[in-house]
Amino acid sequence: MRHNRTMETAREVLNHIFTLTPTNVRIQEEIRIEGKCLPGTEAGAVHTAEMNRLMDKHKKELADLKDRLTAEHAKSKNELDKKVKNLEQKLRDLEKSQETWKKWLEAARMVCTLLSNALQWHMVWMSKR
């Protein structure tokens, strides 16, 4: 039957429904007559099976996601480890350069001291002349 949004067709549909013989669906019999709880009915079993299927699907999706995250984490960790090693090497190179610079500065101070002493000696020698 069709209901095309008029009062007349609505009455026709309702009149037809009122002529039908009431029947019990299986779940009503299982609950009312057999005294089963909803999970113990056939409908409950179907629902439970569907829920289990969905849970298994989501568990698999979660495991796949964890695997992907672990792989991405490992990749990111490797990249960070490489960057850390690179920076550590640069730091060692800078420390070596700093040591070389310190030695050069010490040598320059010694030369300056020698030149200063030589200049003082030369001035004393010149003044005695």
The one-letter amino acid code at 84 reads V
Q: Within 10 Å of residue 30's Cβ, how many Cβ atoms?
A: 19
- DSSP string across 62-80: HHHHHHHHHHHHHHHHHHH
Centroid of chain to Cα 124: 78
Residue 60, pLDDT score: 96
Residue 22, pLDDT score: 82
Q: Assign 17 to helix, strand or coil.
A: helix
Residue 55, pLDDT score: 96
Q: What is the pTM of this model?
A: 0.45
Residue 4, pLDDT score: 93
Residue 24, pLDDT score: 80
Q: Within 10 Å of residue 81's Cβ, how many Cβ atoms?
A: 10
Ramachandran category for residue 5: left, alpha or beta (phi over 0 → left; psi -120 to 50 → alpha) = left
Digit-by-digit pLDDT tens for the chain (129 residues) are 888 999 999 999 999 999 998 888 899 899 989 999 988 999 999 999 999 999 999 999 999 999 999 999 999 999 999 999 999 999 999 999 999 999 999 999 999 999 999 999 988 888 887
DSSP state of 23: -
Are the C-beta atoms of 81 and 73 separated by less than 8 Å?
Answer: no
Give the C-alpha separation, 87 to 75, whole Å: 18
Give the C-alpha separation, 91 to 69, whole Å: 32
